[in-house]
Structure 1
Amino acid sequence: MAKPLRILQVMRAPVGGLFRHVADLTRALAANGHAVGLVVDSLANDAQTESKLAELLPHASLGIHRFAMPRVLGGGDLKTPFAVRKLARSLDIDVMHGHGAKGGFYARLALLGGGKAVALYTPHGGVLHFSRSSLSGRVFHLLERWLMARTGAVVFESAYAQATYAALIGAPTCPTEVIHNGLAPDEFVPMVPEPDAADFVFVGELRELKGIHVLAEALVGVKRADGTPANLVMAGDGPSRGEFEAQIARLGLGERITLLGAQPARPTFARGRIAVVPSLAESLPYVVLEAAAARLPVITTNVGGIPEIFGPTAASLVPSGDAVALGAAMQGVLDDPDAAEAEMLARLAHIESRFSLATMTDGIEALYQAVLARG
């Protein structure tokens, strides 16, 4: 077995899929005998954030360290890389792994001036979401090209992210590897729907990018086999909630859509029989993986890395932003549950073989060792 490593995971705000990935990776690496520390933003420290970090602390033997990381370019960007470099040297770090645009920025800038550590970078959407037409987008893309010489490897969570990065920024001059996000064994335990479960369940942020307005329109004409209107339960909150509630009222869906507020994904899946993820854009969404692993039929859109998750069932993906197509897909699953079950099982077999936490961790750990071996 290779020697244990001292690893610093660097990210900005511990929220969403990026944090889920870093938390899973931290726990798995610690279980494999490595010493792991985290660098996070001191500016994002609400109660929910602190609770998540507190849960992770027992697995972070090198501690959790906070520095100012402004969301857009700001004063903290001139100081924090030097503070991270000082921390890395004091902790005798072998591997700096930056996650997201800012995390990748700091992890690689911290290597200025030398040192034994190597830097890896996982975009997680991050820089891929910056438009070329915006000033911040142009600056981040320029920084990406400049920092390539200080990057030991770029880890992409999907082939989609790899292709998008190359199109926006140019083909990386350092090694790259696609390593999909993975799920823990207990996430593949079948989820049994509650007796009064809704027909459909949505888990995600209530914002335009998640396709919630398209979902409401799609639901209008969807009916069960007995002719009664189908219903939907939704877990999540976000900036578009007020506007979405107004749309629900306007469409007369008040009795058919239940908003639960922010809730954990897996328990919420028991509140519905069919998962719907109508996103307009994604990278490699955990919610699609989680719903499929819980053995729910999943209706979702042909965006980002979702076709990689769907594998042999990708033909059932619907165009994003198309309420008619989404409604037809929802109606189709209600009309033919046996076909939906067969498709779910085919998708489950694909995910079990390619999207496990063990496969993800082994791939990243091997890449760390390979980059260190190259010096």
Structure 2
Amino acid sequence: MTAAPLRIIHIVRAPIGGIFRHIADLALAQTRAGHRVGVICDSTTGGSFEEEAIARLAPQLALGVTRFPMRRQVTVGDARAALSLYRHIRDLDPDVLHGHGAKGGVFARTIGTLLRLRGRKVTRIYCPHGGSLHYDPARLEGKIYFALERLQQRFTDGLVFVSDYEYRAYESKVARPKIPARVVYNGLAPEEFAAVPQDDDAADFLFIGMLRDLKGPDLFIRALRDLDAVYGLAPRAHIVGEGEDRPRYEKMVRDYGLQDRVTFLGALPAREAFRKTHCVVVPSRAEAMPYIVLETVAAQVPLIATRVGGIPEIFGRYAHHLVTPNDVGDLASAMAAAFTDPDAMRRRAEGQRHCLSETFNVELMSDRITSLYQDTRGGKRKSQDSRKTEAAEMTAGAVLVHSKAPTRTGTE
């Protein structure tokens, strides 16, 4: 490593799903490169699966993993959380604060700016991971969050987007970036490009992801109902994942009379889940650059996915096979075709994997993000007048958040 080692802190609210997978992979790759890295996340989110993942990660990071209560909704309590985070981060003396997701981005940039006002040279990086970019700019809540994002760009040193789609969404909904911005695809480790064989009793279809409507488990269940009602097919299916809406999806399965053919398996490692199915279904309504799609393609498991976010960038010349988001009929049609012609799905899976390892590589991901840190740290320290302007902008932003921002079910 040619540059001096950095002290890097990653901040995210929810330590679950692809966003935490991204942070863990990035933190470990940066550690291998000689940097001192830590992670800060919410203490109230996740179950035993996430607890085990954090327990494995923490000892490998020089600055550890620290957990604080962080609400999903924007509330006055954020000020108390920010104060606790500020005191902890101040003592860690970071060079880089990298915020992930909407809430992590607010904390990283707010605390980083406070430290800069006290003379610390802290680089403030933000990666939306979809985040508030999923909102509709025509609705009030979208207008509020995009106004906040525009304000926060004034005290951000660099932006990371996980897909071209995410960059374009930021540009159209928030503003054209006036600071260094870089598209960096999520990356996989070399061993993840090995094919996963299916168990003898593998189900026909499998949904894997957080159990919330944004990810489409309700669409998956309705498509299974239509496979029976419209196509006369009776496939078996597994649902892998956890979330507070799980009871509602279990009720849907019972209401549609599918309880004998649909099994909820809870949270599982992706490659373990892949063994249990002949075809993965990702029916998301919105995405940025989903790891589960990358992992499925790398493992050569047949996949049905929706045309949202950065998924077409993964599929490349196979993107025409993607289904229309939020369209149960289109999803059911694709699943019926996969069920009746599994050999065609396997041939497609083999073709999709080609060259994926060159583009979606974890070491390349780490190098490109860490080089952005170094590039943005090359600038001159702000003047006293500039620091006063930042402080005034932060105060205005805090007032807007606490007085106008709506309660939301989350987009991280």
TM-score (norm 1): 0.90
- How far does residue 27 in structure 1 lie from its aligned partner after superposition? 0.9
Aligned to 1:115: 120
2:313 to 308, 311, 321: 308
Distance 1:278 1:50, change over 3 A: closer
Show the counterpart of 1:192: 197
Residue number in structure 1 paired with 2:354: 349
Alpha-carbon distance in structure 2 between the residues aligned to 1:244 and 1:39: 31
Deviation at 1:295? 0.8
Shift of 1:264: 2.4
- State the partner residue of 1:213: 218
Greater CA drift, 175-184 or 233-242: 233-242
2:56 aligns to what?
55
When residues 45 and 180 of structure 1 are mapped into structure 2, their CA distance, relative to the original with a 3 A threshold, is: closer
Counterpart in the other structure of 2:366: 361
Q: Match for 2:256 among 251, 254, 259?
A: 251
Question: Bigger shift: 102-111 or 229-238?
Answer: 229-238
1:20 alignment partner in structure 2: 21
Q: Is the 8 A contact 1:80 1:106 kept in 2?
A: no
Distance in structure 1 (CA, Å) of the matches to 2:273 and 2:46: 26
Aligned residues of 2:17 and 2:209 also touching (Cα < 8 A): no
Q: Which segments of 5 or more consecutive residues in structure 2 lack a partner in the other structure?
A: 381-412
Whether the 8 Å contact between 2:16 and 2:46 is mirrored in structure 1 is no
Question: Which residue identity does 1:128 align to in structure 2?
Answer: L
Give, in angstroms, the shift of residue 92 of structure 1: 3.1
Offset at residue 75 of structure 1 (A): 3.4
Using the alignment, how far apart are the partners of 2:373 and 2:102 within structure 1?
Answer: 20
Alignment of 1:98 with 2:99, yes or no, is yes
Distance 1:39 1:103 in 2: 9
Letter in structure 2 aligned against 1:92: D
Q: Partners of 1:43 and 1:323 in 2: how far apart?
A: 34
The 5 Å alignment of 1:1-375 reads 1-44=2-45, 49-81=50-82, 83-110=84-111, 111-112=113-114, 113=117, 114-132=119-137, 137-220=142-225, 222=227, 229-375=234-380
In the superposition, relative to structure 1, how do residues 206 and 174 fare at CA in structure 2: closer, same or farther (>3 Å)?
Answer: same
| Aligned residue in 1 for 2:394 | none
Cα distance change of structure 1 residues 136 and 85 upon mapping to structure 2, 3 Å threshold: farther
Deviation at 1:80, TM superposition (A): 4.5
Q: Distance in 1 between matches of 2:65 and 2:247?
A: 36
Secondary structure at 1:276's aligned position in 2? strand
1:259-310 CA distance string (max 9 Å, x none):
2223222201100011111112222211111111111010011111111111
Q: Percent identity?
A: 41
Quote the Cα distance in structure 2 between the aligned partners of 1:242 and 1:79. Answer: 33
TM-superposition CA deviations, 1:126-169 (whole Å, max 9, x none): 22134557776544433322221221111011111111122221
User: Residue type of the partner of 2:4?
Assistant: K
Q: Distance in 2 between matches of 1:207 and 1:43?
A: 17
* In 2: Cα distance, 1:192 partner to 1:124 partner: 31
CA drift at 1:91: 2.9
8 Å contact kept, 2:190–2:357: no
Task: Name the SS of the counterpart of 1:2 in structure 2.
Answer: coil
Check conservation: 1:312, 1:350, Cα contact below 8 A: no
Change in CA separation of 1:230 and 1:74 when aligned onto 2, cut-off 3 Å:
closer
TM-score by length of 2: 0.82
Letter in 1 for 2:10: Q
Deviates more, 1:264-273 or 1:41-50: 41-50
**Conserved in 1, the CA contact under 8 Å of 2:195 and 2:298?**
yes
Q: Matches of 2:64 and 2:255 in 1, distance apart?
A: 50
Question: Structure 1 stretches of 5 or more lacking a match?
Answer: none
CA contact (8 A) 1:36 1:59 kept: no
Amino acid corresponding to residue 298 of structure 1 in structure 2: L
Count the aligned residue pairs: 372
Larger RCO (alpha carbons 8 Å, 6+ apart): 2
Contact 1:84 1:107 in 2 (8 A): no
Question: CA RMSD of the aligned region, Å?
Answer: 2.5
